[in-house]
Chains A and B, each alone.
Chain A
Amino acid sequence: MIKKSLLIPSQLDTESILKDARRELALPSRRLFAKRALTLGGLSLLTGCNITDQASVNHMLERISRMNDGVQAWLFDPTRLAPTYTQAEMTRPFPFNAFYGIDEVPEIDGSDYQLEIKGLVANKRPWTLDQLHKLPQNEQITRHICVEGWSAIGRWGGVPFSYFLKQIGADLSAKYIDFQCGDDYHTSIDMPTALHPQTQLTLTYDGEILPAKYGFPMKLRMPTKLGYKNPKHIVSIEVTNKYPGGYWEDQGYNWFGGS
């Protein structure tokens, strides 16, 4: 048998709990919060990639990316130099990176190699490797920054690209330079970057002839741009005013790709 003295407080408790619960439930803010929480849940579901598949969303992102090209061109200072490093600071070994594995690196024969010159240039004569090596060379130890976020310091030697462009009589008021490569890669850059003092037609790595994995017979090295803008195994250079895009750029990487 339950004693009366025990029953009464528990009844009181139940009543007060129910009263509290009723009051809490009546609060419109509770329901509103639940609704908002559901919407937040809905938003988190979207992150799977539903919104990324929408054509209109991709179109908007693409347009913002083109706008960012403009902002980066505006931010780009053609006289500002990227930091240089000492040989002791070099990343060894310098990482290999491409859209294919290291066993698929193209083997280009240097003896019959000819660099093709196209577009808005006065002299379209192709260049042999010997002729390129006879041009004035310089060397720089700079940081290569990848779009993925990693970075590595390497020592690169070759011809200042602005010097080369003047040699071939390029129209320096043209907008783009397009590069076609021996590994089916292609990319393009803006003229101010092409004329930047550290932009180099690279023929050597760490004092040696450029190895195949780093882009033999030559690559374009720009410490002011991300890695994917630095083409390897270049076989043709075209000066143009027609937007050339690029391998990764056509898939959504930012075209300017500056750093």
Chain B
Amino acid sequence: MSSIVQKKAIVHPIWLRITHWLNALAVIVMILSGWRIYNASPIFPFRIPSEWTLGGWLGGALQWHFAAMWLLFFNGLIYLLFNAGSGRLWKKFFPLRPTDVMRDMIKALTGKLQHDALDKYNAVQKLAYVSVILDLILLVISGLAIWKSVQFPLLRELMGGFDTARIVHFCAMAFLVAFIVVHVVMVALVPRTLLAMLRGR
């Protein structure tokens, strides 16, 4: 009886699924177009292969980047408002204790960590999801500091000036890419999570 109830219970509410997939779209467009913009004047001694980039040329990449930023910004805002407003944010991700993270990390590395309940995150998941939410906020703030370094002096100073804002923006992007790789690998290992993110349960 209880298993039937569990099966029918919604793991991810509809607003979460919509914002998740819109965020995925926005983030992919922003990363690929951002790589093209990076290539115009690289901060580090390497370029991203142009076949991996979006936009065709710098002007096109900028158009994609500055179009998708609206989706990322407003979708992210809606996600945060719903998440905090419904209390889901605290229920799902907290408490987040370092000892739990260590314990679950060791379990995961020794292959003993189970994805037993989709609606409950283990400590490593909690840390990963909270980190990526904060990382996306940092990406938006550092991006605004680059886009409008004169109009947003506070953000500019917070980032340590225009040039360091670019480095912060790049590093936050690298973290996001690393997260996506691990995230997709984990979904491939536990495909039920993908179903839950698509149909809610």
Contact = CB atoms under 8 A, between A and B. Distances in A.
Interface residues of A, number: 45
A2 B98 CA distance: 54
B148 interface: yes
Main secondary structure of the interface of B (DSSP, over half): helix
A253 B59 contact: yes
A254 B28 contact: no
Contacts of A49: 54-56, 60
B55 A33 contact: no
A29 B54 contact: no
B153 A148 contact: no
Given A64-B70, A145-B162, A149-B41, A258 B55 contact: no
A151 B163 contact: yes
A143 B165 CA distance: 14
Interface in A18-41: 27, 29-30, 32-33, 36-37
Given A80-B150, A80-B153, A145-B149, A64 B55 contact: no
B11 to A, nearest CB: 14
Contacts of B53: 47
A96 interface: no
Interface string B153-169: 10010000011001000
Given A80-B151, A145-B149, A254 B194 contact: no
A101 interface: no
A7 interface: no
A60 B151 CA distance: 27
Interface string B61-90: 011101100100000000000000000000
A64 B56 contact: no
A90 interface: no
B192 interface: yes
Nearest to B162: A151
A135 interface: no
B116 interface: no
Given A29-B194, A48-B51, A258 B28 contact: no
A43 interface: yes
Interface string B121-164: 00000000000000000000000001111110100100000110
A252 B66 contact: no
Contacts of B54: 47, 49, 51-52
Nearest to A249: B59
Contacts of A224: 150-151
Contacts of A81: 150
Interface in B2-61: 28, 32, 37-38, 40-41, 43, 51-56, 58-60
Nearest to B198: A32
Contacts of B32: 47
B171 interface: no
Nearest to B163: A151
Interface of B: 28, 32, 37-38, 40-41, 43, 51-56, 58-60, 62-64, 66-67, 70, 146-151, 153, 156, 162-163, 166, 187-188, 191-192, 194-195, 198
13 contacts: A47-B51, A47-B53, A62-B63, A64-B63, A80-B153, A143-B162, A145-B149, A147-B62, A148-B58, A149-B166, A248-B59, A259-B147, A259-B149
- Cβ-closest 8 pairs across A and B: A252-B59, A148-B40, A29-B191, A148-B41, A61-B63, A49-B56, A149-B41, A64-B67
